[in-house]
Amino acid sequence: MARARRYDPDRRRRIVDAALRVVGRDGIAGLSHRTAAAEADVPLGSTTYHFGSLDELLVAALRQANEGFAAILRESETLADPSADLAAELARLTGVWLRGDRTGVELEYELYLAALRRPALRPVAAEWTEQVTTLLTRRTDPATARAVAALMDGIGLQVLLTGGAYDEAYAREMLARIIR
């Protein structure tokens, strides 16, 4: 007797969530269809059905991970206020992000930097920059928005790599210099 297929509309999302947990715990080298399936508690065939290659799974994971900081920016009412101090708000929001779930922030950067070696990830990594730049162009020109995004990226990486504390005053001053 054939088993009835179970309706599971969230399975793809659960597999991506599981892939993010695996990468967060074991790094990208620890991710495979098998480890994602085990973490998601789904049959191996489900991961290969939804993601034909490991790069497809990593693309979906990176796209989901990219939502972290972009969501913080999108949800900021102050950032949308043209009279608000843009540098101060961006410095504050960067601090909120970096002081949040450290594993999540590290995971975002790990997947983002994986694009250096995995060309399939490059368009998704570029999407993050485009999202942030688009949000910032509401308050500044596109070239300045790209420079601001690059500075925030650099500060974030320095904090993660050195284990140092985030210095909001420094970030605010450097952002203000670029925005002027």
Which tokens go with 74? Answer: 């999108």
83 and 160 in a single domain? The answer is yes
* Cα distances (angstroms) measured from residue 23 to each of 27, 51, 152, 178: 4, 16, 23, 34
- Coil, strand or helix at 101: coil
121 and 70 in a single domain? The answer is yes
Residue 2 lies in a domain: no
DSSP assignment of 73-126, as one string?
A: HHT-HHHH-TTS-HHHHHHHHHHHHHHS-HHHHHHHHHHHHHTTT-GGGHHHHH
Question: Under 8 Å CB-to-CB from 24, ≥6 apart: which residues?
Answer: 103, 104, 106, 107
CATH code of 34's domain: 1.10.10.60
State the Cα–Cα distance between residues 74 and 66, nearest whole angstrom.
13
* Tens digits of pLDDT across the chain (180 residues): 545 456 778 999 999 999 999 998 998 999 999 999 999 999 999 999 999 999 999 999 988 888 778 888 888 888 889 899 999 999 999 999 898 878 888 888 888 888 899 999 999 889 888 989 999 999 999 999 999 999 999 999 999 999 889 999 999 999 999 998
Split into its structural domains, the chain has a count of 2
**Are the CB atoms for 54 and 112 separated by under 8 Å?**
no
78 and 49 in a single domain? The answer is no
Residue 30 lies in a domain: yes
State the Cα–Cα distance between residues 53 and 43, nearest whole angstrom.
16
Residue 4 lies in a domain: no
147 and 72 in a single domain? The answer is yes
Domain of residue 43: give its range.
Answer: 11-61
